[in-house]
Structure formats: C-alpha cells, structure tokens
C-alpha cells in the first residue's frame, strides 16, 4: 500500500506545483508583467498551504476516527465540480493590485489548492496510523519530489507544447486521478486496526522522541522555515527585475528550494547540510563583492552565484529543520509550524517590505539571517581578537563603499575587486562564529549602500507594487534622472534652457529623434505611447496633435505630473493625456484605427514585459493603427536580444521592419545614451525617408527565431550572457 500513498502524495504535490506557474502565467499580463505578480502569487500559495496544514492538524487532533478520513475523502471530491479556471478579466483601473490579485486567486484556484495543500500531512498521518512500524517522513520526501517534478515539467514539457486551455484540461484529468488514489488510501486506513505499536524512529528523530513541543521548539521550526521562504522570493525578484518576468525564470529558484527540501529529508541529509554549511560563507562573500562593488559580471555568472548562495543557505536551514523533526505523534504540528514560517517569510517580502523600505532591503536581510542561523557546532565563543576583527571589518567595509564610489566614477574594476578583497578576508576569518560572520556581512552590505551613484544623490524615492523608483540629481552634469530598479528610465536637464529637450534614449540626435523627424505618421494628429517614464517623449508633441500615454503605475503618473521633479507633461499641457492601466489591456479598449503612430516604450526595470511582444499583442497594435500608420518599438536592454523576436513577428504579419542600435555618445553634454529602436509599418512608404537612411538596417526574415505567443514565450535563444550596458 505504500505505493498508493506515495503515488497520491507525489501526484498531489506535482499538481500543486503545475498549478502555481500555470495560474501566474495567466495573470501576469493583466498586471504589466511585474515580478511582484509572482511574489504575491507565491504568498497566496503559502497562505493556502498554511490553511491546508492547519486543517490537517485540527482534523487529526480533534476528530475521532473514522471522521478525519471520511472528511478528507469527501473534500477531495468537491473540486471535481469546480476545477480551476483563473479569471482573465483585467483589474479595474483604480484597484489595488495586491488585493485584486489575491481575490482573483482565491476565487479561481482557492479550493483545489487548499485540498492539495493538505494532501501531504493528511496522507502521512493516515500512513502512520495504518503502518505504525514505518517512518511516515519518507512520504515527505516523495511530496517534495513530486513538487519538484511538477514545477520542472511546466516549462520543460507542458508550456512549450500545450496551450493554456489544453493544459487546464490535462490538469483536470490529473486531479481526477489524484482523487481516485485518495479514495484508495482512505479505504485502506479505514480498515486498519485502531491503535498500533510504537513508531520506528531514525537516530535524528529518536533524540526528540519523548520531548514535548514547547514554544522554543515551535519558534525554531518557524524561523528555520521563514528564512528560506524569504530568500526564494528575494532571489526571484533579483533575477526577474532586470531580465524578464516570465514563469521560466521563477521556476529555477523555486525548483532549487524544493530540491533542498528533498535533500534535507533524505538519508544523506547530514552530509549535504555539512557541505552546504562549508560552502556558504565564501559563496556569501562572493555575492557581497558583486553587490557592494557593483562589478560588471556576465549575466550567467551573476545568476549562478546568487542561485548557489540561495541553495546553500536554504539547505543549511532545511537541514537543521529536518534534524530536529519530532516523532510522528507531533507530525501535523511540525508541518503547521513549517507552513507558518513559510507564510511569514513570504508576507515579509510581499506585504511588509514594500511598506517599510524604499529599496529592496529584504533580500540582503534574508542573506544575513541565513548566515546567522548556521549551526554553531563545537566552536568557542568569540574572543576579544574576534571582536577587534569585526571592528576592523567595519572600517574596511566603509572604505569599500568609497572604493565603489570611485569605481562608479570610472575606477579600474580590477582595482575595485582587489581592494574589496581586504574586508572579504577579514569577514572570512569570522566564519566559525555564525552571528559574528553574519554581522560582518551585514556591515559590508550596509557600507555598500552608502556609496554614491554616478547619477548623483537620491532626492526622492518610493516603492510600489511595480517596483522601486529613485529620482537622483547630479549638479555636476545638471541632470535629474529616474531609476527603476537598476535601470535608467528617463532624464531631464536642470538647466531651464534645456528643460524642454528630450534626453537620454530620446535624444533628437538618436534613433527616436530621427524617427519623429522622418516618419509620415509622426506629423499626424493621433499618437499613443505605451509606457510613460518621466514623459520625455512628450517633448516631440506638435501643435494640433493629441498624445495618449498608457501607464500601469499610478505613482509614475503622479511623479511625471509633478513639476518639482519632471516637467515634460506640464509643458505638453492639454495635448498629452495619461490613461492608467496595463498598456495592452487599455489599448484593447480603443477603437480600430485609433492612432497614426504607436510607440512601445514599456519596461519593467530593464526588460520589456513579454506579453507586450507576442503575436496576439502585435495583432492588436496593427489593428489600432490607422492606414499609413507606424509602430516604433524601444528594444534597449542589457540581457535580451529582442531583435530576432520582433523580426519573426514582422515576417509573420507581413510588416516592413527597420532597426537601429545606436551606441550613443555619453561624452556629449547632455549625454546621448545608447539605445536600440525598431520601426514597423505595413508598407515601405509608411516609414518615409528612413527606408533609404543607412543608419536604419532592414530586418531580415528570421524563421529560426522564436515566435512568441500568449501561450509560449521562451527566453532560450535570446538571452545575452555578455550584456551591453544600458
């Protein structure tokens, strides 16, 4: 019978972790492709996991047999009548994104997710009762293995070949099979004799066999679960902010998270945890060097270093969590504490941190917490020389911040790395004292935050559901800029004589200036822009024109309208209007042929949201363009070469496409930033003189390039491992 219990546990967990990215993929385009969609979804999933574990605990502890078995068997059948179909209607323009998303998830997938969340602890408690001589924690490894298989199956096997509707039908069949397995297990446990002998425990569990579960033990379980939960969201946000917000990227950290749980509850747990603890200090210091020194490292290596750090930290925490697991009598209490920790970690990142911090502070805080939770072993307490080393580290870390400032001003990167080696070595000397080492790393990260930016000091900062924004001013260059995450999103001169001039990516000498001067559609009456930024493109508005900006973040509109910071919209006056909401959704409400020129200039930090670059999106753009109209697309980013993707879309839809990747000229005053633009139109006549301009290169047909659709949008093949600056 263990085969049936294991199969039900594995299938239930696999269905759970296919449902997560499948649901997020459907909802992502409705909120602009921001990484916060996945953060909020994961918080919801953790909260329902807690609800499922709480139900399993109460039903097992408070109900007499056979009622817990009958209740869950009946509950497993209920979702068959209303299997998940996530709502696809966009949120109202004034809706609070987090609240709308949580409500949509609750009504769309709440019931089946709740039942599947309770599957692992319920089936383990049934197995413990039916087979008291066996260790039920083996099924927890099967649960995590099923979660890992389901999560990896989505991007590798399911998403590339199935549409969302086909995937939904397959998921329903899988759930029906899961319900059948639950009924088989329920029949088996219902026939098992009452009572049972003592459970066999391994050496790790035997030490706690007779121990009561007190507040201290509960707190330890919760903390050891909360820190990896916070870390997985932190590293996911780090990767998604400057690359692209698609489920394929989110799967990697979550898969590693599940893999650490599998390893922690395996027979080789002690060896795996010891190896992770040995590697964690140096790995943390390598990442600190990247974050403090702002070193230019290829994307692949940067992502790898952060993911290895996360994996080692999560395994150290989960390994300790497995080592102190209780006897099966306290099994549901243990899982309930783990679920509470998961929710607390997720809530800190998704709900609390955006209100407490104007920057992404939660990720480095979770790194420091994981380092402090490393097992102490038999090491002695820190002596006076250790404390002196800690003080020396603080001085060296502050010196590192100054070095970083000089690096941002043009110092040789190898010199920066060499000077950062001094505080790194001082910190590594404290590695045998987890709390002192964690404090040293925290001080280094704090010191890195004290360094100056090449754009000047921050004069205004805020954080919303859609990201972290900073307004900086540099008196030396006379510029005020807006940064979204690590990416420059617009600039304006502080000099009144230059106030109305578009700068940066929108310089009149660059591709966009050439396009507005040459495109026939640019002189016509109706212009639409998806993405507002600081409103720099409004400087191109001509008398008699009507410009409409589509901007998803209301806070960005307020910033662009506040003349204390940027005045492009104020200078444009009544010619420029702003519609708040996702650009694609809002544009879909406009009539066919509504615009002569459409500019796609939307970014989530460094990356264009993928749902704006699909076949369905371009069919929408084309339908909203009047005869003779043109589409101007801003492609600049560090990590993705999107030219082939747009080339494939242009080829499929029979569009003329021209591209210019301008290197810019940062030495000029004001600087012209490098930028990459593409012009698309139905006919060569619609691009005007650009068709013979040697700076604009015709985009050849790209049949080998990926064709992105709303169902399929793989980044494989378009990622730049060595990225140009932006």
Residue ranges per structural domain of the chain? 2-195+210-372, 384-449, 500-698
Under the phi-then-psi rule, with left for phi > 0, alpha for psi from -120 to 50, and beta for the rest, what region is 548? beta
Instruction: Select from 248, 83, 87 the least CA-distant residue to 174.
Output: 83
pLDDT at site 93: 67
Query: Can you identify the CATH homologous superfamily of domain 2-195+210-372?
Result: MFS general substrate transporter like domains (1.20.1250.20)
Dist. CA 201–CA 329, nearest whole Å: 11
CB atoms within 10 A of CB 406: 15
Distance CA 269, CA 272 (A): 5
Q: What is the pLDDT of residue 135?
A: 65
Residue of 127, 119, 113 lying closest to 144 (CA atoms):
119
| Topology classification of domain 500-698 | Rossmann fold (3.40.50)
Angle at 297 between CA 295 and CA 300, to 5 degrees: 150
Closest CA to 144 of 338, 305, 330, 283: 338
Strand partners, 679: 632, 658
Q: What is the predicted pLDDT for the residue at 196?
A: 40
DSSP letter string, 426-480:
HHHTTTTSHHHHHHHHHHHHHHHHTSPPTT--EEEEEEETTEEEEEEEETTTTEE
What's the full length of the chain, in residues?
726
| Inter-residue contact 200 to 343 (CB < 8 Å) | no
The per-residue pLDDT for 24 is 80
> For the chain, first and last CA: distance in Å?
59
Which SS3 state, helix, strand or coil, does residue 333 take?
helix
How is residue 595 annotated by DSSP? E
Instruction: Report, as ranges of residue numbers, the positions in the chain whose pLDDT lies below 50.
Output: 195-210, 245, 247, 378-382, 723, 725-726
Q: Which residues of 565-596 are buried (b: 16+ CB within 10 A; e: fewer)?
A: bbbbbebbeebbebbbbbbbbbbeebeeebbb
Instruction: State the DSSP H helix or E strand holding residue 583, giving kind and residue range, or none if neither.
Output: helix 583-588
Domains 2-195+210-372 and 500-698 share a fold: no
Containing H/E element for 551?
Answer: strand 546-551
């Amino acid at each position: 019978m263990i085969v049936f219990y294991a199969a039900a546990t594995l299938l239930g967990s696999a269905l759970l972790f296919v449902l997560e990215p499948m649901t997020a993929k459907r909802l992502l385009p409705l909120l602009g492709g921001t990484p916060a969609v996945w953060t909020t979804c994961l918080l919801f999933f953790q909260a329902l996991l807690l609800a499922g574990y709480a139900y399993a605990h109460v039903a097992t502890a408070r109900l007499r047999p056979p009622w817990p078995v009958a209740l869950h068997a009946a509950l497993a059948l209920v979702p068959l009548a209303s299997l998940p179909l996530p709502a696809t209607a966009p949120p109202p323009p004034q809706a609070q994104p987090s609240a709308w998303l949580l409500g949509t998830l609750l009504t769309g997938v709440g019931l089946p997710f709740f039942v599947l969340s309770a599957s692992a602890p319920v089936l383990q408690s049934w197995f413990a009762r039916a087979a008291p001589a066996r260790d039920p924690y083996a099924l927890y490894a099967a649960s995590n293995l099923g979660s890992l298989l389901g999560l990896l199956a989505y991007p590798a096997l399911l998403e590339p070949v199935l549409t969302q509707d086909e995937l939904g039908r397959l998921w329903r069949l899988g759930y029906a099979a899961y319900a059948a397995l639950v009924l088989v297990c329920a029949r088996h446990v219902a026939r098992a004799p009452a009572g049972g002998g003592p459970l066999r425990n391994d050496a790790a569990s035997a030490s706690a066999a007779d121990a009561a579960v007190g507040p201290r033990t509960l707190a330890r379980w919760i903390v050891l679960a909360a820190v990896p939960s916070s870390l997985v969201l932190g590293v996911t946000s780090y990767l998604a902010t400057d690359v692209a917000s698609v489920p394929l990227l989110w799967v990697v950290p979550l898969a590693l998270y599940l893999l650490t749980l599998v390893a922690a509850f395996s027979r080789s747990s002690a060896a795996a945890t010891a190896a992770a603890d040995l590697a964690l200090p140096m790995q943390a210091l390598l990442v600190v060097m990247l974050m403090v020194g702002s070193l230019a490292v290829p994307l692949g290596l940067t992502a790898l270093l952060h993911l290895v750090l996360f994996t080692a930290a999560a395994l150290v925490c989960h390994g300790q969590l497995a080592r102190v697991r209780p006897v099966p009598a306290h099994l549901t209490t243990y899982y309930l504490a783990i679920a509470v920790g998961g929710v607390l970690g997720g809530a800190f990142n998704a709900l609390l941190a955006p209100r407490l911090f104007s920057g992404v502070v939660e990720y480095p805080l979770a790194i420091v917490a994981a380092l402090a939770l490393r097992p102490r072993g038999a090491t002695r307490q820190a002596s006076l020389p250790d404390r002196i080393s800690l003080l020396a580290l603080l001085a060296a870390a502050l010196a590192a911040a100054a070095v970083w400032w000089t690096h941002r001003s043009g110092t040789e990167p190898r010199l920066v790395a060499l000077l950062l080696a001094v505080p790194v070595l001082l910190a590594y000397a404290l590695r045998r004292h987890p709390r002192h080492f964690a404090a040293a790393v925290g001080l280094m990260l704090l010191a890195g935050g004290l360094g100056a930016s090449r754009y000047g000091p921050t004069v205004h900062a805020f954080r919303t559901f859609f990201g972290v924004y900073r307004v900086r001013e540099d008196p030396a260059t006379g510029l005020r800029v807006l940064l979204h995450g690590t990416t420059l999103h617009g600039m304006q001169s502080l000099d009144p004589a230059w106030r109305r001039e578009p700068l940066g990516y929108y310089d009149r000498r660059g591709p966009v200036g050439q396009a507005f001067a040459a495109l026939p559609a640019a002189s016509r009456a109706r212009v639409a822009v998806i993405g507002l930024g600081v409103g720099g493109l409004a400087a191109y508005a001509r008398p008699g024109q009507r410009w409409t900006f589509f901007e998803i973040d209301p806070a960005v509109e307020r910033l662009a309208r506040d003349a204390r910071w940027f005045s492009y919209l104020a200078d444009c006056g009544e010619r420029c209007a702003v519609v708040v909401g996702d650009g694609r959704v809002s544009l879909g409400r406009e009539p066919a042929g509504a615009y002569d020129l459409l500019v796609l200039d939307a970014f989530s930090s460094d990356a264009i949201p993928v749902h704006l670059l699909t076949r369905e999106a371009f069919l929408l753009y084309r339908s909203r363009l009047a005869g003779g109209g043109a589409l101007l697309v801003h492609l600049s980013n560090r990590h993705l070469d999107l030219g082939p993707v747009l080339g494939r879309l242009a080829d499929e839809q029979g569009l003329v496409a021209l591209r210019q990747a301008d290197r810019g000229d940062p030495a000029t005053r004001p600087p012209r930033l490098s930028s990459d633009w593409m012009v698309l139109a139905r006919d060569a006549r619609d691009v005007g003189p650009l068709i013979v301009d040697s700076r604009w290169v015709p985009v050849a047909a790209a049949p080998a390039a990926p064709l992105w659709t709303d169902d399929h949008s793989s980044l494989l093949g378009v990622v730049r491992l060595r990225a140009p600056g932006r």
